[in-house]
Amino acid sequence: MSINPHAIVHSLAKIGANVEIGAFCVIESDVVIGDGCRLESNVTIKRGAVIGKENHLCTGTVLGGRPQHTAVKGDCGGICIGDNNIFRENVTVHRAIKESEVTVIGDNNYLMVNAHVAHDCKVGNDNVLVNNVMLGGHVQVGNRVNLGGAVGVHQFCRIGSLAMVGGLARVIQDVPPFVTVDGLTGRICGLNQIGLRRSGRTIEEIRILKDVYRLIFRSGLTWKEILKKLEDDYSIGPGAEMTQFLAATKRGIVSERHSVGRTPLRLLDAENNDKNDGDHENEIQTIRVNAG
Give the catalytic positions in this structure: 119-120, 137
In eight-state DSSP terms, residue 190 is E
Task: Give 3-11's long-range contacts (Cβ < 8 A, gap of 24+).
Answer: 4/41
User: Measured on CA atoms in the order 241, 211, 171, 129, is the torsion positive or negative?
Assistant: positive
Task: Give 98-107's long-range contacts (Cβ < 8 A, gap of 24+).
Answer: 99/75, 101/77, 102/50, 102/77, 102/78, 103/77, 103/78, 103/79, 104/79, 104/80, 105/79, 105/80, 105/81, 106/82, 106/143, 107/52, 107/82, 107/83
Report the Cα 149 to chain-centroid distance in Å. 11
Spatial contact of 60 and 79, defined as CB atoms under 8 Å apart: no
Residue 184 is which amino acid?
Answer: L
In eight-state DSSP terms, residue 239 is T
User: Could you tell me the end-to-end alpha-carbon distance of the chain, in angstroms, rounded to an integer?
Assistant: 59
Residue 70 burial (10 A CB sphere; 0-12, 13-18, 19+): exposed
Spatial contact of 41 and 58, defined as CB atoms under 8 Å apart: no
